Structure formats: structure tokens, C-alpha cells
Amino acid sequence: MLSNDQPVKLDEQALEYVDSCNLPTTWATFRMHAFVETATGKEHIALTLGDVADGQPVLARIHSECLTGDALFSKRCDCGPQLELALQKIAQEGRGALLYLRQEGRGIGLLNKVRAYHLQDEGADTVEANQKLGFAADLRDYSLCDPMLKHLGIESVRLMTNNPRKISAMEGMNVRVQEHVPLIVKRNPYNERYLSTKATKLGHLIQPDL
């Protein structure tokens, strides 16, 4: 991989690779790889551990940004614990990858997420709130995963997710989903309804009443 050079255009210029560095964390020292989306200027990162380009299936998580859950300890969703568990599992194996995609609030952005949470405070569920604001229930786009994974040399993944939409999106790409690894985290009184709605309305593979 290049460093201190011009960004490398990937996948017919949809995504550019910029640089990589070490990222020590509580669980392991990952390699952090930086990318920029050509069309939007959005910045995305991938964390890898070990040799992910050896052709063997890679334990992988595709994680969409959730500022409130990932960084602010919100209990309204399960994003923070899922992120933590995914990194722990990768560290335990000593090998894996986490793609961190900057598509906050299932793609509606941070400010609209605050508006959606306001509607949820008043009784709407997560899908109804997005729809009241004029958005689809889920606007996330996983197409950038393909050039990112290709750049990292990853040919097949053992994908950590509970979301069948993510699995089918990945199946349309060059990378092969070898296995689906559930990522179940604890519920709390604040995310109970959110997780149940994800199961019943968005088809997530989690039991509504666990």
C-alpha cells in the first residue's frame, strides 16, 4: 500500500484510498485505512487486524456510523455494543476487518436523527419517525464496501450482522459471504422497542421478545 502519496482511485473513481496508520485500542492494535468518497467527499475508514489478504474468509463487520450510540453511550440503540463486540471478536481471532461507513442514522444524517428521536419521544417507532420526516425506513448504501474490501485484498467474509438486507447487499458484490455470524447484544428498557421494530418491520434476525 502507498503512503504519503496521492490518493489512489478505486472502482472507477467511486472511492479513493488515502492512507493507513496504526490504531491501538483496548483490545488490539488495528491498522486503520482511510478512504474518501469521490462524489460526496464523505470520509470512511476500515480497521483490519492480521493478514486479511491471504484468501481465507475474514471475520468482518460492516458498521454504519451512529454518533449517539458509538461515541455518546446512547441506550436508544444497540450500535455501540455491537461495534464493541465486533472489535472484541476480531481481536480474539487475531484477524478480521471492520468497515466504518459514514452514513449516520440509517442514512438520514445526524440532525434528521435528532428530529426522528423527537418524534419517537412522542410515540412513533423508528420506521414511522423516518417516514414522517419523508425518508425511507433505511437509506443505507453498502456499495462502497466492494472497492474497500477489494483494496484490502479481502475475497470472502464471515459477516457479523443480524440484518438480512446487509447480507443480500453483500451477495450482490464481488466479495463472497462465506458465513453469517450473529451479533447479539443485551437489550435495555430504552432500546427494547427499537430492537423489536428492527425485528418486526426491518426483518432483522433478532427475536422480538428476547
Q: Annotated catalytic sites, by residue?
A: 138, 140
CB of 44 to Zn ion, least distance (A): 17
Q: Does 77 bind Zn ion (CB under 5 A)?
A: yes
Closest to Zn ion by CB, 16 or 78: 78
Q: Say how many residues touch Zn ion, by CB under 5 A.
A: 4
Residue 93 C-alpha cell reads as 481471532
The strands making up 15-24's β-sheet, listed across from edge to edge, are: 8-10, 15-24, 29-37, 43-49, 96-101, 58-64, 156-160, 176-181
Closest to Zn ion by CB, 78 or 146: 78
Q: For residues 43-72, which are near Zn ion according to CB under 5 A?
A: 66, 69
Residue in 18, 28, 59, 79 binding Zn ion, rule: CB under 5 A: 79
**Residues annotated in a binding site for Zn(2+):** 66, 77, 79
CB of 41 to Zn ion, least distance (A): 23
DSSP 28: -
Closest to Zn ion by CB, 50 or 69: 69
Q: Does 129 bind Zn ion (CB under 5 A)?
A: no
The CA R_g of the chain, rounded to the nearest whole Å, is 17
Q: For residues 171-200, which are near Zn ion according to CB under 5 A?
A: none
Closest to Zn ion by CB, 48 or 68: 68
Q: Which of 170, 24, 184 is nearest to 89 (CA)?
A: 184
As a whole number of angstroms, the distance between CA 145 and CA 182 comes to 19
Calculate the dihedral angle through the C-alpha atoms of 19, 12, 165, 70, rounding to the nearest 10 degrees: 20
Calculate the dihedral angle through the C-alpha atoms of 42, 43, 49, 50, rounding to the nearest 10 degrees: 90
Q: Does 101 bind Zn ion (CB under 5 A)?
A: no
Question: Which positions touch Zn ion (CB under 5 A)?
Answer: 66, 69, 77, 79
